[in-house]
Structure 1
């Protein structure tokens, strides 16, 4: 039986989807072959708690760190598949960290969010060993990862990790899900079985939000109406006087190509906005 949010949380509207997936995989494989990488470094105990580090190229001093959380509706994909992001940051003096995390439904959302916090704490404590600057950590993520960076960037939740309130210097939330209640009205919930308690606790749009760093909220211009609705609402929800919040649309990109053709593409304005946030562009 079709439910009212099925089309909003599917990729059915993406043209040539299999080709898009093949291109993403090829780009990831090329990046793993092209760039130096430390793969599957454990940041905690248990399955899924590893991360990949791509050290910055051409950096004499400790490099700013871009810490990325992948999407997959909290239940699929892995860090290796997002290695293509290295081409948008590593040659320009940035370290890229791409994390894995335990997946639902074997893990509940509270443990998953906690794993991401653990990865951030580990990165803060250890990135200097790989040439990174722990005082310049920027976080980003797409889809479910956009939701997860929103969780990490909420000041009270950041402080629970034991990090300083300024430990994150900037945030980029890409195609995020900031109210998970609509997901319960889609086929995705057949796999997730989200509870009312999870909806209440882990929907940034449903609670007061105290942003801990400047934020870029972004998504592809060709994404579904629900992703646009949530991104626009979240950008307004985060707005306050201390840190700037911008909403940036990447034209002619969808839920996949907003990463492969925008965030990872050095000439794209989204990539340039993020590198500008990192102090790598004037």
Structure 2
């Protein structure tokens, strides 16, 4: 594709009623923050941008499985608070939800973003029990840039270096992810990201052998651009070829925003049910 066409692939220009969707997303996040208990802005490391929000399960009894969510924004925008709208899809069903903030590019590099997410997993494993979570049942999901970061975390090659057990992540869900960074380099997004050739080689999970143990859901909105559809299909096939147990689940009638807002966050939707089933809920 030409650079101009790649610009279109990584923009939201073709999403109808985008401003209304953004407003609905913000309102849903604010409503969830008002309706559910939250522990906000907890630092998982003493460095800028490395905080998380915890939404504990309100019930008593056995520790709750934990869903860690990593937001999108092309590694350079958005924050954890905005994705609080996910809470009604998980907490009432017996889960703890953890929404992660990470340092944003270009103030940092991709290695820092990936490291931050790894540190967030480690912090959650070591500390979630004090909030009612079960460190032996940690699951991870994320959208767009967060889908890419989920793929990086699902690849177990990093765990030993962070002092974590090989089975710390029990299952993953990559939503509308970017698994080959080279096309991003050829789009307007790189005007801000300033990705290097070295970063593209190091952080494109589509082009290296992966060690994924738990079940993996790869999903994408049926109304997303060709590049997102193509990359999700390619990543699902690649992960399968590496020995992972993969469910490839394109979601019809959803776009880059609504696949999270109206599918993952909606208890009655097949995507939400699939993620909760992965968690045993």
Q: TM-score, normalised by structure 1?
A: 0.97
Q: Count residues in correspondence.
A: 280
The equivalences for 1:66-145 within 5 A come to 66-145=67-146
Structure 1, unaligned runs of 5 or more: none
CA distance in 2, matches of 1:157, 1:3: 36
CA contact (8 A) 2:72 2:142 kept: yes
Aligned position for 2:39: 38
Residue 240 of structure 1 deviates from its aligned partner by: 5.0
**3-state DSSP class of the match of 1:197?**
helix
Q: 1:209 deviation in Å? A: 1.3
Cα distance between partner residues in 2 of 1:241 and 1:78: 32
Q: Cα deviation per residue 1:107-145 (whole Å; 9 max; x = unaligned)? A: 000011001000100000000000000000000000000
Equivalent in the alignment of 1:7: 8
Residue matched to 1:161: 162
1:3 aligned counterpart, secondary structure: helix
> Unpaired runs of 5+ in structure 2?
none
Which runs of 4 or more aligned residues in structure 1 lie more than 6 Å from their structure 2 counterparts after TM superposition? none
Aligned-partner SS, 1:111? helix
Distance 2:131 2:200 in 1: 37
Query: Aligned-pair RMSD on alpha carbons?
Result: 1.3
Separation in 2, partners of 1:2, 1:183:
10
Q: Tell me, in whole angstroms, the C-alpha distance in 1 between the residues paired with 2:200 and 2:69.
A: 23
Confirm or deny that 1:271 pairs with 2:272: yes
Separation in 2 of the partners of 1:43 and 1:120? 9
1:186 pairs with 2:187: yes
The answer to whether the 8 Å contact 2:211/2:242 transfers is: no
C-alpha distance 241-224 of structure 1, shift in aligned 2 (>3 A): closer
Contact 1:56 / 1:93 at 8 angstroms: preserved in 2? yes
Pairwise CA distance, 1:249: 1.4
Deviation (angstroms), 1:241: 8.0
